[in-house]
Amino acid sequence: MSDDSKLYFASDYMEGAHPKILERLMQTNFIHTVGYGEDRFSEHARELIRKACAAPQAEIHFLAGGTQTNATVIDALLKPWQGVLSADSGHINAHEAGAIEAGGHKVLTLPAVNGKLRAGDVQAYLDAYSADANRAHCVAPGMVYISQPTETGTLYSLKELEDLSAVCRRAKIPLYADGARLAYALACSENDAGLPDLARLCDAFYIGGTKCGALLGEAVVFPRPDTAPHFFTIVKQHGALLAKGRVAAIQFEVLFTDGLYMEIGKPAIAAAARIREALKRKGYALVPETPTNQIFVRLDDEKSGALSESVVLSFWERVDERSAVWRIATSWATADADVDRLISLL
């Protein structure tokens, strides 16, 4: 159970939504619209996203959450005999309770390097598959899944994305990017891949709402039409079709008005930078060091025990019998005062 007296740095989904979103929901509350995303708010939100992505032909769908979006998009893009290539640390491989396999597809893993898939490793896997005389007995690699930022808070550079995209296009398989925390990537000064780059290089990606200031909602973008035929029905079949499609769409309308989505992650990045600096100053080990809103820090069990009395962090993984990695996450709503308190406690 949650406890008011504590500091919350466990995740980036601990608050409601950006105040402008709630305002807009109030303003539009009694306007009548049809359902299932065929309303004017949905269409307007799509138009704003197309513009932000410089992808005038993009097909855009609004779903509720991340695992749902990954399972639905991956199922829509794969043929039944294909699997999806992912870093072993990828969210679909580790923390989605087998949702991809429940849809009948194998997650084919490659070792993550700094949280990322390397284009060369993907190419090598594809080559080995093509060269395997027994490949007809194996799961065919049918798409590539990445996330930006990655599961461990690192970023793909534009060059890395271009390389992955080139590998996929040569192999004629789609590249899909999970952007659950995309606003935090876009807010980083280290980031050199914008939305138009993702639209140009990926065959599908989603722009995260839930962790980036919305009550809930993810916007799936297929930059080129007809990438996923019958996607509406596939979404319905996956239980992912919102009856009141406007509820997600209105939130994206707000996020893509006046460039809010480009800005909303900045306070989180600034807060994370302050915490990171403090941790380093105090001699904590960052594993690895990341530029985004997630910090992974190694803590002795004694220290984490003491901290847990006043701060909620997120357990990540055990290192040895006496220490573990913990995640500190900031968000668009992290208050400066909370950062100060956290730093003083460390």
Is residue 327 part of the contact set for a second copy (CB under 8 A)? no
Q: Which is nearer to a second copy, 164 or 177 (CB)?
A: 177
Q: Interacting stretch for a second copy, rule CB under 8 A, among 125-133, 171-179, 189-197, 271-279?
A: 125-133
Q: Does 151 bind a second copy (CB under 8 A)?
A: no
34, 113, 306, 345: residue in contact with a second copy (rule CB under 8 A): 34
- Helix H, strand E, coil C: the string for the chain is CCCCCCEECCCCCCCCCCHHHHHHHHHCCCCCCCCCCCCHHHHHHHHHHHHHHCCCCCEEEEECCHHHHHHHHHHHHCCCCEEEEEECCCHHHHCCCCHHHHCCCCEEEECCECCECCHHHHHHHHHHHHHCCCHHHCCEEEEEEEECCCCCCCCCCHHHHHHHHHHHHHHCCCEEEEECCHHHHHCCCCCCCCHHHHHHHCCEEEEECCCCCCCCCEEEEECCCCCCCCHHHHHHHCCCCCCCHHHHHHHHHHHCCCCHHHHCCHHHHHHHHHHHHHHHHCCCEECCCCCCCEEEEEEEHHHHHHHCCCEECEEEEEEECCEEEEEEECCCCCCHHHHHHHHHHC
| First-residue to last-residue Cα distance in the chain | 24
Nearest-approach distance from CB 186 to a second copy, in angstroms: 20
* Binding segment toward a second copy, per CB under 8 A, in 46-54, 171-179, 219-227, 241-249: 241-249
* Contact residue for a second copy among 56, 134, 172, 226 (CB under 8 A): 134
Q: With binding defined as CB under 8 A, does residue 272 bind a second copy?
A: no
| Among residues 87, 119, 182, 241, the one that binds a second copy under rule CB under 8 A | 241
**Sites for a second copy among residues 161-220 (CB under 8 A):** 210-211, 215-216
Nearer to a second copy, 56 or 80 (CB): 80
Q: Is 38 in the site for a second copy (CB under 8 A)?
A: yes
Query: Restricting to residues 83-122, which ones interact with a second copy according to CB under 8 A?
Result: 83, 94-99, 101-107
Is position 337 an interface residue for a second copy (rule: CB under 8 A)?
Answer: no
Task: Give the interface segment with a second copy, choosing from 11-19, 45-53, 190-198, 276-284 (CB under 8 A).
Answer: 11-19
- 29, 189, 282, 309: residue in contact with a second copy (rule CB under 8 A): 29
Q: Do residues 73 and 204 make contact, with C-beta atoms less than 8 angstroms apart?
A: yes
- Sole binder of a second copy in the list 164, 242, 255, 275 (CB under 8 A): 242
| Of residues 290-319, those binding a second copy (CB under 8 A) | 312, 315, 318
For a second copy, how many residues bind (rule: CB under 8 A)? 88
Of 48, 49, 53, 66, which lies in the binding site for a second copy, with binding defined by CB under 8 A?
66
